[in-house]
Chains A and B, each alone.
Chain A
């Protein structure tokens, strides 16, 4: 599935000691056996051919519990090659538990190069975010999906939701948004905000903030989605239209913040609110840690805000 590694000259993060383990010989490359990988690749090909359509696949038992990204891991394991460079993020950060564990898992089972730099990666597995930096045609982003069916809350019968997808009857999605406005005065859905892919299938973008929805539209990278427990794979091929649903008088909007990032001063990135003390002190910092560090390095070493250490410990 992969091209020549054109990123090898770029520096990648020094591998920390606990991640620097020899590849475990008890497992096949990338843990899954070759037939399973082939089965998953077939599902991926079908998903790419029908953008936004949920393709069933034989999800395997993984050595991590459901909810930890078993769908994303299986997709990554099926497309990863020895010359790939892998980045794993969780809520935008490379250092959170989920990201660290998945990264270690692939370190042990593939020994591929890993990185925290968005532009250095060929494969990015993500939970809850799309990196701020624009992706390229040479990259694949893999989303971990808990609930692949966007209509599940309103229509629990899967047989019915499948017919609704088949016949493109999507009134129900607007019922959900209508209900938001009726209750809260605005569309209160802030994550997993439903999108229409390629003007055909309504798709759950996984629990990314709606801030990231516009990034999916006409993205040069291949976007793959894996739901392990629900046994579904879907995809958005490069340069595909992804439209967030809305009403004429209540159109789709992304989140905005009054303050810039405390650490790097960015006004364009998705910010997390971080509580700094017991006196109600709080700051806003970038959720994408790699982006924030890149922006900080542009400012020069002297300008690092004092709150950095606190935010890092968090």
Chain B
């Protein structure tokens, strides 16, 4: 792949976003490198999801730029692309895993059609191949391929989340956004999903950005983390470093308030 490894896959510079008088995001800047997993942590209302939506071009920030390393063309500001380019990017090179699986899946069509949708959008027109690919991906996310024709509605919460992941990864994206992928699942299912995510990101060399309020998720998956508070990035660093030796008082509070079993 002729991707420039000397520059980051994503470069974020000076993002600002406010809703009315309330600033939701203040001067956020960071870089993400290919194959890196970055966690964004912080309490509710700290601007995590606003930041994620801006990065994934789902919501335009008031100022600042988000540049993505295209397969051809180098770092390009996603808000300067045409809508058609942005949408193509969003369904090929990007993935987005929603907190609520109903937002990311088509609940009224089968699991196979959910996995195949992106491929069909890219012009694949062979039913047999689409189905084979769908079965293959279901197996990779540990869903029994025999359930390829079942509706996501008949899946458990954990399975839906895994189906959502399969649906996103089928086009071999290079960057995946995840918005609280494990919240709302019970603890054992969470552990299984985290294990799966860790394997997949490692094996596929995915860069990903995970928004979470759960520090254990960040510890398990992320190489680096960003701590947010009131719309501002207060601390960034390697995950272990931030969690074991927090510098900012807010991070210290956050780390110390986690229950230790």
The chain A residues found within 8 Å of chain B, CB to CB, are: 154, 163, 167, 169-172, 174-176, 178-179, 181-183, 246-250
* Nearest 10 Cβ contacts at the A-B interface: A171-B121, A174-B120, A171-B120, A247-B127, A248-B126, A178-B113, A179-B109, A182-B149, A167-B84, A175-B113
Q: Is the CB of A154 within 8 A of B109?
A: yes
Interface pair B125/A248, CB less than 8 Å apart: yes
Residues of B within 8 A of A172 (CB): 117, 121
Interchain residue pairs with CB less than 8 A apart (24) = A154-B109, A167-B83, A167-B84, A167-B87, A170-B121, A172-B121, A175-B106, A175-B109, A175-B113, A175-B117, A176-B109, A178-B109, A178-B112, A178-B113, A178-B127, A179-B109, A181-B127, A182-B148, A182-B149, A246-B125, A247-B127, A248-B127, A249-B127, A250-B127
Q: Which of B96-136 contact A (CB under 8 A)?
A: 106, 108-110, 112-113, 116-118, 120-122, 125-128, 130-131
Whether the pair B125, A247 counts as a contact (CB closer than 8 A) is yes
Interface string of B128-164 (1 = CB under 8 A from A): 1011000000000000000011000000000000000
Interface pair A179/B127, CB less than 8 Å apart: no
Bound complex: CA of A176 vs CA of B127, how far in Å?
12
A174 contact set on B, CB distance < 8 A: 120, 125
- Tell me if B83 and A182 are in contact (CB < 8 A): no
- In angstroms, Cα B126 to Cα A264, docked, is 40
Residues B117 and A249 in contact, CB atoms below 8 Å apart = no
- Taking Cβ atoms with an 8 Å cutoff, the residues of B that contact A are 83-84, 87, 106, 108-110, 112-113, 116-118, 120-122, 125-128, 130-131, 148-149
> Which residues of A lie under 8 Å from residue B128 when comparing CB positions?
249
Whether the pair B83, A249 counts as a contact (CB closer than 8 A) is no
What is the minimal beta-carbon distance from B33 to any residue of chain A, in angstroms?
31
How far apart are B60's CB and chain A's nearest CB, in angstroms? 15
Are A154 and B127 within 8 A (Cβ)? Answer: no
In the assembled complex, which residues on chain A have CB atoms less than 8 Å from the CB atom of B116? 175, 178
Are A171 and B113 in touch, CB under 8 angstroms? no
Q: How far is the CA of A110 from the CA of B128 in the complex (A)?
A: 55
Tell me, rounded to whole Å, the shortest Cβ–Cβ distance linking B205 to chain A: 26
Is the CB–CB distance between A249 and B122 below 8 Å? Answer: no
